[in-house]
């Protein structure tokens, strides 16, 4: 059981952090907390009461106070990131004690173990602001969604942002190929297909191929053609915890794994060629994706059929217009050995991507 009393702890700065502070004299509770810290990869500092050294209480990224020690920390300076940990599910007085010490959360073991492991692991990883996560979906086959996803990721990385490009379309041929890195060392999706629970963000990032200043999670050329929802959830959650940006190339069909990916997006781009059949097909894709994704926008690609422009396409689909994707050779057909989309930093596609990130990051900051 885990219950919130006041507020979430503040985001930690990026990078490896100190472990949590544990305050308890309950030997059995301490054994459990040490076990959970070990599972989360954190080394805690243990005291029976508020540490006497200056900053020992205030500087800890997370404080775990045993219910037995609540009275002894009552006079400590109020701070965020305090969790009161107990065992008695029927003790209603624990909420009063939590308020007295200014705890953010009340947690009961063993029910709240997974929640606490995740929180401790966040501390160990130095989790800050979650990555701005953008999905790209083709309104019909051949719309250019994969190439636009690559261009967005390459542009983000060139702007100095930590960037991860995720290939969620098993039938797309592999984004590592599109980026010219099919032989690059690193793990592909099949290595993560059995993932459950929590995946370490740093370990994920270091295990993936590094191409054009970004990390890429792509498919290999094997027989694996689906990712379970639990694996998609674990991997994308780990990617988001690292901050920066995450770009997800999505298929047009929505299975359980894709639905999980859609649920973790901050916004989606539906790439729609400006022709009537493409608009009709995109309407079905938008209907399926919109059941999970709340912020879906249209990126229209020319040339335009008679009577259509970008605003009319957006109107017909009933979706906000993200802009007009420039017609560029790399967006329609990418040949092996060419510079990946957006890698040159010049041209209309690169400008579109820069403008997109400028708006999207500004919106995220305002939110």
Domain-wise residue ranges, the chain = 2-125, 132-366
pLDDT, one tens digit per residue, over 106-146 is 999 999 998 898 888 878 776 667 899 999 999 999 999 99
Dist. CA 168–CA 319, nearest whole Å: 23
Nearest in space to 9 (alpha carbons), one of 112, 96, 119: 119
Percent of the chain with pLDDT over 90: 66
CATH of 132-366, one of 1.10.569.10, 3.20.20.140, 3.40.50.300, 3.40.640.10: 3.40.50.300
pLDDT, one tens digit per residue, over 7-32 is 333 344 344 467 899 999 999 999 99
CB-count exposure of residue 223 (10 Å: 0-12, 13-18, 19+):
exposed
Say yes or no to pLDDT of 335 above 90: no
> What is the SS3 assignment for 253-315?
CCCHHHHHHHHCCCEEEEEEECCHHHHHHHHHHHHHHCCCCCCEEEEEECCCCCCCCHHHHHH
CATH of 2-125, one of 3.40.1410.10, 3.40.50.720, 3.40.50.2300, 2.60.120.890: 3.40.50.2300
Instruction: Calculate the CA 262 to chain-centre distance.
Output: 11
pLDDT, one tens digit per residue, over 278-319 is 999 999 999 999 999 989 999 999 889 998 999 999 999 999
Say yes or no to pLDDT of 337 above 70: no
Q: Do domains 2-125 and 132-366 have the same CATH topology?
A: yes
Q: CA-CA distances (angstroms) from residue 143 to 175, 239, 270, 293, 304?
A: 15, 26, 9, 20, 13
Say yes or no to pLDDT of 221 above 90: no
pLDDT score for 338 = 56
């Amino acid at each position: 059981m885990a219950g919130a009393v006041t507020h979430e702890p503040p985001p930690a700065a990026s990078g490896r952090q100190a472990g949590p502070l544990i305050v308890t004299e309950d030997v059995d509770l301490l054994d459990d907390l040490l076990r959970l810290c070990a599972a989360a990869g954190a080394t805690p500092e243990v005291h029976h009461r508020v540490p006497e050294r200056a900053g020992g209480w205030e500087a800890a990224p997370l404080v775990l106070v045993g219910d037995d020690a609540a009275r002894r920390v009552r006079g400590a300076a109020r701070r965020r990131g305090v969790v009161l940990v107990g065992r008695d599910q029927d003790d209603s007085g624990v909420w009063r004690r939590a308020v007295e010490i200014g705890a953010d959360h009340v947690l009961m073991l063993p029910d709240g173990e997974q929640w606490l492991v995740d929180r401790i692991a966040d501390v160990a990883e130095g989790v800050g602001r979650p990555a701005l996560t953008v999905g790209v979906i083709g309104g019909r086959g051949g719309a250019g969604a994969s190439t636009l996803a690559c261009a967005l990721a390459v542009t983000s990385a060139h702007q100095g942002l930590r960037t991860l490009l995720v290939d969620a379309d098993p039938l797309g041929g592999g984004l590592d190929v599109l980026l010219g890195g099919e032989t690059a060392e690193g793990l592909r999706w099949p290595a993560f297909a059995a993932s459950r629970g929590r995946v370490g963000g740093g370990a994920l990032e270091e295990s993936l191929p590094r191409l054009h200043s970004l990390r890429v999670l792509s498919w290999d050329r094997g027989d694996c053609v689906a990712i379970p929802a639990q694996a998609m959830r674990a991997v994308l959650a780990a990617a988001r915890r690292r901050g920066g940006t995450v770009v997800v190339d999505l298929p047009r069909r929505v299975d359980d794994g894709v639905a999980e990916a859609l649920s973790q997006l901050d916004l989606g781009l539906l790439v729609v060629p400006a022709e009537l059949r493409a608009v009709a097909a995109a309407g079905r894709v938008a209907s399926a994706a919109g059941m999970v994704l709340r912020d879906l926008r249209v990126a229209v690609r020319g040339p335009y059929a008679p009577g259509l422009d970008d605003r009319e396409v957006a109107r017909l689909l009933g979706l906000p217009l993200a802009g007009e994707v420039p017609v560029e050779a790399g967006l329609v057909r990418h040949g092996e050995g060419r510079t990946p989309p957006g890698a040159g930093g010049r041209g209309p596609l690169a400008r579109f991507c820069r403008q997109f990130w400028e708006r999207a990051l500004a919106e995220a900051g305002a939110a």
